[in-house]
Structure 1
Amino acid sequence: MPQSLPNVVFLDRATIPAHVPVRTLNFPHHWVEYDYTSPLQVEERLQDADIVISNKVVLNADILNKHPKIKLIAVSATGTNNVDLDYCRQQQIAVCNIQGYATQSVPEHVIAMIFALKRNLFAYHQDIAQGVWQRDKQFCFFTHPITDIAGSTIAIVGSGNLGQGVATLARALGMQVIFTARKGELVNKQGYVPFAQALQQADIVSLHCPLTESTTNLIGSAELQLMKSTAVLINTGRGGLVNESDLIEALKLGEIAGAGVDVFTQEPADNSNPLLANISLPNLLLTPHVAWGSDSALQRLVEILCDNIEQFVAGKSVNRVV
């Protein structure tokens, strides 16, 4: 009796823009894709799945236990915190992720945010929109400080591909780069500075570490008070790395000069989120988790995603997390 073709189910295809095509896999299969999948729809949509593609849909032990046919979870992102890796390890469900696809896109987004905040581009834009320039009698006006990037110190939290990519661009712009040791950890690497010291020394702090139990609320009120009043914080890592309420309080009190945030504790965020509720602050720059998403990065992500699945079916291990 011929074996049935494997069923590949993509739970949240809309996380990849429609203008970026996903090529056909190179083995016989059935393909089903959904733009979005709510928690209430997951169980039904995984009924016949052998291979699951998920970017952000949560696949916990309760869900996976009901679908023993699943042999591979292909995460269409780097972060795997939406998948119960311990359960997958116990049940021999393979999990792979996407690595190294946004090493240009994220660092460029970080640098763009730094320029926007240190030169107060958004604040000046708001001033013009509110008629400040039009009421002034000078050809220019200076309602906000403008700070040069060259010569400033950037402290990078996380020294993986993205942190290193930011460091490369920062050095090219004349910044001094320091990497931070983990919170409370002694420094034993050249170029690394104790966490608290790095916060005190930096003109810019950029976060590129994973979200774990030990890094949740890595930046809160105490850490923000350590930073210079002229410093800016950039978070393109994970929303939970920063206590959002504490960040808003620090911006309002002038404890730091500005913040650029691309990631939120809940996504999509709504007006109950302190950052969205205070979006009118002139020193707060928000983007909707798009730092990773240049067209070239998206196309690379799709290629790696398809390669991961094809290599698994061929019996090879590529980008395996479990």
Structure 2
Amino acid sequence: MPIPPTHLSSKPTVVFLDHATIPEHITVPNLTFEHQWQQFDLTPVEKVVERIASADIVITNKVQLTADILDQAPKLKLIAVAATGTNNVDLDYCREHGIVVTNVQGYGTRSVPEHVVAMMFALKRNLVGYHQDIADGEWQKQKQFCFFTHPITDVADSTIGIIGSGSLGQAVGVLAKAIGMKVVFAERKGVKPARPGYMAFDKVIETADVLTLHCPLTDDTQDLIAMPELAAMKPSAILINAGRGGLVNESDLVEALKTKQIAGAGCDVFSKEPADESNPLIANMDLPNLLLTPHVAWGSHSSIQALCNILMDNIEKYQQGVEQNRVC
């Protein structure tokens, strides 16, 4: 449904709640229409209501906008999410109160797949383990020109199972095929029979040499990969999560790594971010078969610039009464 052209006041207030999530070297395009701009590097929970109270437009990357918070922003017409995921916004409240929510799609289809492939090679060839061994003096102890303390397996001719067939999952598939992998997309968990072009979820879990996650975090996908799935994977398989932290039960994953139920795991996302020492992954990050990065898979320069361009264009289009990347 088109957005009425008279939806905003003559000089709307635009508030960016967590501008520091955009690196300083990235240019955020200026809005072309007359407006009042307010930006904050970060916004703690206790400051959200105060900062959005008079806002017409709110930009958020990860700041939580719950129903009780939104109920105290009577002028709010648009929430522009500076990411693809919108689980930090109460979409039901926005639908009920006529608040438009937009997100940014397609900006990371180069950066995220490259990060996934980088993690895959690092884990399959145990680069972290060998790096740690050299640091610990293992090379000198071995007294050989090389040593083999960790298995090294090839990526070519192996099978990658992709959970999530959106733009990111598809882009990972393209790269995987280019390096000689067999690509299979998983049907949704519990759905039988699988649709054409998909393999049953349980079958993908059992057969994949690399399992990578690119689906949204919902009530249905919370703990999508837990001990039953990890136990069903090949002992030589690796898991990569560059989707959402809650897709994987982190305690179960650590246990599976320690008991060698799976060969390795790479995680770019965590159940709570920033993750601290209470997170099982952080507490066990010295495991040689665990590779962690701080939610940066999306973060190549070109991808972040594309995100900012799309983010601000979403707002421009909304001001013009044109629907673009609308979630609700």
TM norm structure 2: 0.96
Q: How far apart in 2 are the matches of 1:313 and 1:195?
A: 43
Pick from 136, 149, 157: which aligns with 1:151? 157
Q: How far apart in 2 are the matches of 1:147 and 1:84?
A: 44
Pick from 249, 256, 276: which aligns with 1:250? 256
Q: How far apart in 2 are the matches of 1:158 and 1:167?
A: 11
After superposition, what is the alpha-carbon deviation per residue over 1:261-292, rounded to whole angstroms, capped at 9, x for unaligned? 00000000000000000000000000000001
Tell me if the contact between 2:162 and 2:169 (Cα under 8 Å) persists in the aligned partners.
Answer: yes
More displaced, 216-225 or 134-143?
Answer: 134-143
Unaligned runs of 5+ in 2: 1-8
Pick from 216, 220, 223: which aligns with 1:217? 223
TM norm structure 1: 0.98
Q: How far apart in 2 are the matches of 1:242 and 1:67?
A: 34
Q: What pairs with 1:56-95 in structure 2 (closer than 5 Å)?
A: 56-95=62-101
Unaligned runs of 5+ in 1: none
Deviation at 1:155, TM superposition (A): 0.4
Question: After the TM superposition, which parts of structure 1 deviate over 3 Å for at least 4 consecutive aligned residues?
Answer: none
After superposition, what is the alpha-carbon deviation per residue over 1:209-243, rounded to whole angstroms, capped at 9, x for unaligned? 00000100000001000000000000000000000
Q: How far apart in 1 are the matches of 2:47 and 2:10?
A: 24
Where 1:74 maps in the other structure, the secondary structure is strand
Deviation at 1:24, TM superposition (A): 1.1
Deviation at 1:4, TM superposition (A): 5.3
Deviation at 1:135, TM superposition (A): 1.8
Pick from 299, 304, 312: which aligns with 2:310? 304
Kindly report the root-mean-square deviation, in angstroms, between the aligned alpha carbons of the 2 structures: 0.8
Residue type matched to 1:308 in 2?
Answer: N
Q: How far apart in 2 are the matches of 1:170 and 1:234?
A: 14
Q: How far apart in 2 are the matches of 1:187 and 1:166?
A: 24
Q: How far apart in 2 are the matches of 1:149 and 1:189?
A: 27
Where 2:234 maps in the other structure, the secondary structure is coil
Residue type matched to 2:304 in 1?
Answer: L
Residue 138 (str. 1) matches residue 144 (str. 2): yes
Deviation at 1:23, TM superposition (A): 1.7
Indicate the residue corresponding to 1:259 in structure 2.
265
Residue type matched to 1:175 in 2?
Answer: M
Indicate the residue corresponding to 2:113 in structure 1.
107
Indicate the residue corresponding to 2:166 in structure 1.
160
Residue type matched to 1:96 in 2?
Answer: T
Tell me if the contact between 2:10 and 2:34 (Cα under 8 Å) persists in the aligned partners.
Answer: no
Query: How many pairs are equivalent?
Result: 320
